[in-house]
A = this chain, B = another copy of it.
Amino acid sequence: PTASGSVACYGPNAYHSPMTPTIDLLMQHCSVRRYTDQAVSDEHISAIVAAGQMAASSSFVQTTTVIRVRNPDTRAQLCEVSGGQPYVANAPALLIFCADLHRNAQCCAMHGQSMQSGFIEQLLIASVDAALVAQNSVIAAESLGLGICYIGALRNDPQRVADLLGLPEQCFAVFGLCLGYPDQETQTKPRLPHSLMLREERYDGADDPSLIADYDATMRDYYASRSSNVKLQSWSEPMSALLGQKESRPHLLAFLRQRGLATR
Contact = CB atoms under 8 A, between A and B. Distances in A.
A224 interface: no
A197 B243 contact: no
Contacts of A71: 201
Interface residues of A, number: 128
B138 A139 contact: no
A163 B208 CA distance: 19
Given A15-B46, A120-B252, A120-B253, A113 B56 contact: no
A73 B101 CA distance: 37
A205 interface: yes
A120 B256 contact: yes
Interface of A: 7, 10, 13-15, 19-23, 25-29, 31, 44-47, 49-51, 53-56, 58-62, 64-71, 74, 100-108, 110-111, 113-117, 119-125, 127-128, 130-132, 134-136, 138-140, 143-144, 148-150, 152, 155, 165-168, 171, 174-175, 188-189, 191-192, 194, 196-205, 208-209, 212-213, 235-240, 242-250, 252-253, 256, 262, 264
Q: Which 7 A-B pairs have the closest CB atoms?
A: A113-B244, A131-B131, A22-B143, A107-B239, A107-B236, A108-B244, A111-B240
